[in-house]
Structure 1
Amino acid sequence: MFGFFESEETKKLKSHIANLSALAKVDGHVDPTEMNFIISIGTKHGMKPNEVRHIISNTDTSELQLPTNDSERFDQIYDLVEMMLADGIVDESEMEFCIHMAARLGFKKAIVGVLVRKISLGVKDGLTRESIKLEAQSFLNY
């Protein structure tokens, strides 16, 4: 009922939580590590854990709100890749979902696979989000 009065930022955050939730569910279950990761993203942005859990349980009914600029797009795909890596197991369907979501977020189809793999390797290597973003800019042509 009050969704009409939500700010654009709140709508974007809820959409991002829904995207993370969909990725977590791709392999058939939400691992506790994945759940904690999604909740941490929400709480970092001011949401209460029970609000995040509500979004997760109602992912199918959420209306997706795509980011409006390249920086937000990168941050969302970065979080999705980080989510994919959260349980320590990279399922092929999770990788495909990340690649699909990168394309849906507006990245060129020709580079989405490279982008997801670059982020994945950067996270595994312990690089910061900003350094991965800077490296990605060279082939994203922001």
Structure 2
Amino acid sequence: MPILDLYEHGDHRKNLAHFATLATLAAVDGEINPNEKALLDKFAFKLDITDAEYKEVMKKENKYPIETPHSGEKRLMRLFDFFQVIFSDHEIDDVERKMVEKYAVGLGFPTKKAEEIIKKSIAIFTGKIAFEDYLYLMEK
């Protein structure tokens, strides 16, 4: 088996674990609503999740560990995906917030840094950011 096949398999396993975490988050407040389902479908396509894998993740307890990317940018990308799922219904509840805090620490962010990132992310996703922050984001 070529080394490339091993790499692709490992990469797919990480994507599957990330998708399983997103699905768990979507279901944490009970049922998965239509907006969350649509977003999960989008992530399934983006992460190359097969129909069989999708069904397996949706029907069983999440058995996939959190895979910690080595790159800080990839960690932030995983959190960004997480926040997209959370805010698919335009709000964040206490259960979702606690879950994203655990996920951020699981991704390797120190607790203090995770709290800071989550606070900023909530401000961005709810549209409650200061003009200076908005200006900075627009200039980037």
Q: TM-score, length-normalised on structure 1?
A: 0.75
Alignment of 1:1-80 (within 5 A): 7-49=9-51, 51-80=53-82
Instruction: Tell me the residue number matched to 1:110.
Output: 112
What are the superposed Cα offsets for residues 12-42 of structure 1, whole Å, 9 maximum, x if unpaired?
Answer: 1101101101111221221121121111012
Which secondary structure state, in structure 1, belongs to the residue aligned with residue 30 of structure 2?
Answer: coil
The offset of 1:54, in angstroms, is 2.9
Question: Higher Cα Rg: structure 1 or 2?
Answer: 2
> What amino acid maps onto 1:11 in structure 2?
R
Does structure 1 retain, via aligned residues, the 8 Å contact 2:39–2:85? yes
Does structure 2 retain, via aligned residues, the 8 Å contact 1:15–1:64? yes
What are the superposed Cα offsets for residues 36-91 of structure 1, whole Å, 9 maximum, x if unpaired?
Answer: 11110121233345543432323423344332321211111111112111112311
Instruction: Flag the 1:72–1:126 CA change in 2: closer, same or farther, 3 A.
Output: farther
Does structure 1 retain, via aligned residues, the 8 Å contact 2:16–2:47? no
Instruction: Flag the 1:40–1:108 CA change in 2: closer, same or farther, 3 A.
Output: same
In structure 2, runs of 5+ residues without a counterpart are 1-5
Count residues with an aligned counterpart. Answer: 128
Which secondary structure state, in structure 2, belongs to the residue aligned with residue 62 of structure 1?
Answer: coil
Give me the identity figure in percent: 20
Query: CA–CA distance in 2 between the matches of 1:59 and 1:18?
Result: 9
Instruction: Tell me the residue number matched to 2:3.
Output: none
Which secondary structure state, in structure 2, belongs to the residue aligned with residue 7 of structure 1?
Answer: helix
> What amino acid maps onto 1:109 in structure 2?
T
Instruction: Flag the 1:59–1:39 CA change in 2: closer, same or farther, 3 A.
Output: farther
Instruction: Tell me the residue number matched to 2:86.
Output: 84
Does structure 1 retain, via aligned residues, the 8 Å contact 2:66–2:106? no
Structure 1 stretch displaced more, 85-94 or 116-125 = 116-125
